[in-house]
Amino acid sequence: MLRADKVVFGYNKSAKKDIDFHSKFLSDDADIILKNSYIYPPFINSHDHLVGNWLPVALDHAPYINSHIWVEDMKRSKAYLERNKYWINKGMTDLSSGAELSLSKLGVYKNLFSGVGIVQDHAPNQNDRYYNSFPIKVIKNYRQLHSIELENWWGGKSLEEEWSSASSKIPFILHIGEGIDPKTANEFAFAKNYGILKENVVFIHAISFTKNEIAECAKNGVTLCWCPKSNINLIGKTLDIETALKEKVNLVLGTDSSFSGSVNLFEELRFAHKLYPNIPAEMLFKLIYENPKKAFFLENYFSDSTDSFLALDKTNENPYKNILESNYDKISLFVWKERPILGNYDNLKLFDIDFKDYFTFYSNGKKKFVFGHPELLNQEIDNALGYHKKLAYLPFS
């Protein structure tokens, strides 16, 4: 990670000639515009369900002893019934058009407004049209199971078929140990006996895992995905994080959907920090960048690190603690694959773009831009409901 003023100074004064694409969009006075910022790689959110980002949370009878009970109760919650007026979930096999795609796009904006460039959308595998619909990367290459108890109730193939098609070369994702009852406590043993303690496996939640079970995950290179806000909301307990850190598990962080989790990744990070203030901010950064790169086989993805970056206003001398003080308002410029997708409106003028592709809005007196038209997605929902639906992760909603 580099200080923005140094980076931009470098681009303008020496590297500009060599790094061609920067000369395309950073003007000579860019160092003035981006000063007092830190530049980061875009963050990685390791667990979300994009289509499920309705609000408020669907936790009418929380806490639950396990998530399977919650899945049924959720379908009767006020939030879920309100979403039914816009889209009824009759299976998630094809989310690539209609209201389900609009909802998934809103889920992507939830991520984009918190600096996320890559998100793992836990759903049955979709067609290419779906993955090509978004301004950031939604990971396409994975296999999955919803959970051991409910298997793929939401679409997708059997555990056997999904696991064999992952064939150790593709990330394999499932919810596991999301509860405190004896049934959930047996899930680790089931997974171990089934032979899926492997390096390509990402276990989501693992609340029920014992110290020994966590140590076995570490030994076998299994990734554990921590979703503290969703866990505390839903179950009242979270992963044994101290053991996971002590055993050096490949640990990643996820928001989960807003039906159970946080409003966005900034809130998730702050929640994690509040719950475990002794975890260094630098470690939290690892959970949203280095570790997920390993988990999702993305190590070479940012080969040209300069084509995607996130500039955050500097309010803390420590760049890692600075993230914990951030929100969408502090994103002065977010560039994804050379395209500006969010930031201060003045920075948009540095780029050769079509202004029609952007929505502009005011936030705390600052004029901001975002790529695409999330306001029209919000409007679609308003039309279906007959009143304005405020979605807290959209800064203009």
Binding residues (CB under 5 A) for Zn ion: these are 256
Q: What is the DSSP string of 50-87?
A: GGG--SS---TT---SBHHHHHHHHTTSHHHHHHHTT-
Residue nearest to Zn ion (CB): 256
- Which is nearer to Zn ion, 217 or 348 (by Cβ)? 217
C-alpha–C-alpha distance, residues 138 and 119, integer Å = 5
Task: Provide the minimum distance between the beta carbon of 254 and Zn ion in the complex, in angstroms, as a whole number.
Answer: 8
- Which is nearer to Zn ion, 229 or 368 (by Cβ)? 229
- Which is nearer to Zn ion, 50 or 310 (by Cβ)? 50
C-alpha–C-alpha distance, residues 286 and 294, integer Å = 11
Residue with tokens 């809103």: 106
Task: Provide the minimum distance between the beta carbon of 72 and Zn ion in the complex, in angstroms, as a whole number.
Answer: 15
Task: Provide the minimum distance between the beta carbon of 137 and Zn ion in the complex, in angstroms, as a whole number.
Answer: 19
Instruction: Please choose, from the candidates 188, 155, 128, the residue with its C-alpha nearest in 3D space to the C-alpha of residue 49.
Output: 155
CB atoms within 10 A of CB 192: 14
What does each C-alpha distance from 179 to 195, 209, 229, 396 come to in angstroms?
Answer: 22, 10, 14, 36
What does each C-alpha distance from 302 to 117, 136, 241, 293, 383 come to in angstroms?
Answer: 11, 13, 28, 10, 40
Task: Provide the minimum distance between the beta carbon of 224 and Zn ion in the complex, in angstroms, as a whole number.
Answer: 14
Q: Which helix (H) or strand (E) holds 160?
A: helix 159-166
- Which is nearer to Zn ion, 256 or 268 (by Cβ)? 256
Question: Quick check: 343 and 311 in contact, CB under 8 A?
Answer: yes
Question: Quick check: 40 and 324 in contact, CB under 8 A?
Answer: no
> Is residue 157 classed exposed, middle or buried when 0-12, 13-18 and 19+ CB atoms within 10 A define those classes?
middle
- Which is nearer to Zn ion, 122 or 270 (by Cβ)? 122
- Which is nearer to Zn ion, 31 or 100 (by Cβ)? 100
Task: Provide the minimum distance between the beta carbon of 275 and Zn ion in the complex, in angstroms, as a whole number.
Answer: 18
Task: Provide the minimum distance between the beta carbon of 159 and Zn ion in the complex, in angstroms, as a whole number.
Answer: 17
C-alpha–C-alpha distance, residues 269 and 179, integer Å = 22
Task: Provide the minimum distance between the beta carbon of 351 and Zn ion in the complex, in angstroms, as a whole number.
Answer: 36
- Which is nearer to Zn ion, 187 or 256 (by Cβ)? 256
